[in-house]
Amino acid sequence: MSTEEIDRLREASRTAPTQCAGAVPDASVVAEATLSTWQEVTARLAPVIGARGVDVLLGRALHLTSSAFPWLAFVWDHGNRATRLALLKSRLAGRETAAAAAASHALFATFTELLTALIGVSLTDSLLGPVSASPPPSTPPEQERAS
């Protein structure tokens, strides 16, 4: 796996969770976009690694990401997949926009790196490339200062 391939995957994984959040996202929009992203990721990966495989990788990614975002620590310990994703959405929506976006980006990047270690760059790119194909939302400077 080349450095260029890794960098490209990291950049794609950084933008995917908020790509559909619109031009001026707030935390609730980031949370909704994150939930939508995870639903799409599950739909794309479940046929390849199984729904349980997706759950395990997402749980591990949440565990690793919670070192930087401790408020994510207990999300995956509750209920079924739908309940856990709803809790993730709720936790993101309850934060400042920048924190929600940063946590969402970090979670997806960590998940992508774990998946890449499991199935390789080419297959990860093939399966998740469409999830991160759109450009990220741009936040006007006034909105960034107001957040």
Residue 1: predicted pLDDT:
44
Coil, helix or strand at residue 74: coil
d(CA 57, CA 111) in angstroms, rounded, equals: 6
Query: pLDDT by residue (tens digit) across 105-118?
Result: 999 999 999 999 99
Which positions of the chain have pLDDT values less than 70?
1-25, 75, 77-78, 132-147
Task: Give residue 133's pLDDT.
Answer: 52
Query: pTM of the prediction?
Result: 0.74
Could you report the per-residue pLDDT of 8-28, keeping only the tens digit for each? 444 544 454 544 444 446 899
72 within 8 A of 58, measured Cβ to Cβ: no
Work out the burial of residue 132: count CB atoms within 10 Å of its CB; fewer than 13 is exposed, 13-18 middle, 19 or more buried. buried
For residue 144, give Cα distances in angstroms to 6, 25, 26, 91, 141: 29, 10, 10, 21, 5
